[in-house]
Amino acid sequence: MPEIILKTDMPDKAAQVLADALETESLRLKYSIELAAKRLSRFEKKYNVSSTTFISEWCAEDLDGKDLEYVEWAGEYHLSMRLRERLDALKSIQYVS
């Protein structure tokens, strides 16, 4: 597994700061993912289709709101995916002393 090495004169303090920052970011990402899921759910219920199917098979002409609604749904979907990738990256970090 690749490693990232950090150097500091205050290892105990720095380790706690990093642990706190990672936990805070993890909570922020989880909250953002929940919000995105709620917004995606509105589109999915309105059109009775999953966001995954929408992204792979639909176009703006398939939606009542056309371009604007398409851009909103697609944007929310891609944001959700990026947030999940960031959370997965955070979860992959292991503290080794």
Contact 83, 33 (CB under 8 A): yes
Per cent of the chain over pLDDT 90 is: 74
Residue 68 within a domain: yes
Contact 85, 78 (CB under 8 A): no
Residue 65 within a domain: yes
pLDDT band at 63 (very low <50, low <70, confident <90, very high): confident
Residue 78 within a domain: yes
Q: What is the mean pLDDT of residues 49-78?
A: 89
Tokens coding 67:
């371009």
Residue 76 within a domain: yes
Of 87, 80, 75, 82, nearest to 29 (Cα)? 87
Contact 92, 24 (CB under 8 A): no
pLDDT at 2 over 80: yes
Q: Indicate the helix (H) or strand (E) that contains 81.
A: helix 66-91
Record the pTM: 0.84
Contact 84, 40 (CB under 8 A): no
Q: What is the mean pLDDT of residues 54-76?
A: 88
Spatial separation of the C-alpha atoms in residues 30 and 94, rounded to whole Å: 19
Q: Give the pLDDT confidence of 79-88 residue by residue, as tens digits.
A: 999 999 999 9
Q: Which domain holds residue 74?
A: 60-92
Q: What is the count of structural domains for the chain?
A: 1
